Each structure stands twice: as structure tokens, then as C-alpha cells.
Structure 1
């Protein structure tokens, strides 16, 4: 009898472990789904941030080119933008000169 009780005790413990394993696997699957959803959301937010940064940059360029009542920071930005535009124009002129020769 003692052996049968011991075996029954082991079987009960195995069943408990199996239930715990199933619960852990279900929790793991749920957590993986949540992680995937959060990663997708993060990618979307990063894309939105990039697009908004680009819009902000374009807005600053538009404001800088108008040049009306600019603060010191805006005026410095306007000078920087104009300098870059001039650099691009010089580079285009060099490319045209190379193509013509």
C-alpha cells in the first residue's frame, strides 16, 4: 500500500507540474504577443517622429526664408540654410562645368 500511495503522490505532483507548465506556456505566448504589438507600435511611433522632425525642419526653412522678425536663433538658422543652399548651387555649377568639358 505504501508504494501505491507514493506512486499516487508522484502522479499528483506530475499533474500539478504539467498544469503549471501549461499556464507558463500560455503566459509566455501572451507576453510574446504583447511584445510584438509593442514593437510594432514603437516602429510606428518612430516613423511618426521622423515625419514630424522632417515637417519641423521644413517649417523652420520656410520661416527662415521669409526672414520677418526673426529671433537670433532663427536668424542663425536662416544664415545656415542660405549657406547650405549656396554650397549646393556651387556644387551644381561644378557638375555642369564638368559635364560641359
Structure 2
């Protein structure tokens, strides 16, 4: 095998490798785009879940507060939730007063 033939084989292999690299880069770009779309969809779904969980939580509280018959566990949970919310409000009011005084 002559030197020219050897160089030609190397050039052909190099050309094939470059062609394969370009294809892999195109595939990689496509996969990155798909990943970004999936991440956006996941984020939207997480926001929807959080919103629905909050609505469910508020509906449970409203049901207990509205006089619906509650189990002792639900009644205790309602009381605990209300205490926590009131404490949060008091802390927020205290922070506001401190800012006004400071």
C-alpha cells in the first residue's frame, strides 16, 4: 500500500468522523431542546399541583369552618392550622411595627 493510498484512507476516515461528529452535535442540540421543554412542562405541572393543593387545603378548612361535621382529627387539624396562621399574622404585624418604629 502506497503512502498516497494510506493518506487517502486516513482522509476518508477523518471525513466520516467529522460527519458523525456533526450528526452527534445535531442530536445533542435536539435532546437539549427536548430537555428544556420537559423541564418547562414539569415546572408548569408543579405550579398546578401547588395551586391545587392550596385549593384543597382551603376547601378542607372552609368545610370545617362552615360547620360541616368533622372528625376529631379534622377538627384538631383545623384548630392547629388556625393557630399557626394567627401566629404567622402576629409575627408579620410585629415585623411591620418594628419597621415603622425603626
Q: TM-score category by the smaller chain? A: 0.7 to 0.9
Does residue 71 of structure 1 match 2:71? Answer: yes
Q: Take 2:86 and 2:7, find their aligned partners in 1: how far apart are those partners? A: 87
Aligned pairs, how many? 94
User: What is the 5 A alignment of 1:33-72?
Assistant: 33-72=33-72
Aligned Cα RMSD in Å? 2.5
Paired residues of 1:67 and 1:75 also in contact (CA < 8 A): no
Gaps of 5+ in 1: none
Task: Give the TM-score of the pair, scaled to structure 2.
Answer: 0.77
Gaps of 5+ in 2: 98-102
**For the pair shown, which has the larger CA radius of gyration, 1 or 2?**
1
Q: Take 1:18 and 1:86, find their aligned partners in 2: how far apart are those partners? A: 67
Which of the pair has the greater relative contact order for Cα pairs under 8 Å at 6+ separation?
Answer: 1
Distance change >3 Å, CA 16–CA 37, structure 1 → 2:
same
Paired residues of 1:64 and 1:74 also in contact (CA < 8 A): yes
Paired residues of 1:67 and 1:78 also in contact (CA < 8 A): no
* 1:55 Cα offset (Å): 0.2
Task: Give the TM-score of the pair, scaled to structure 1.
Answer: 0.77
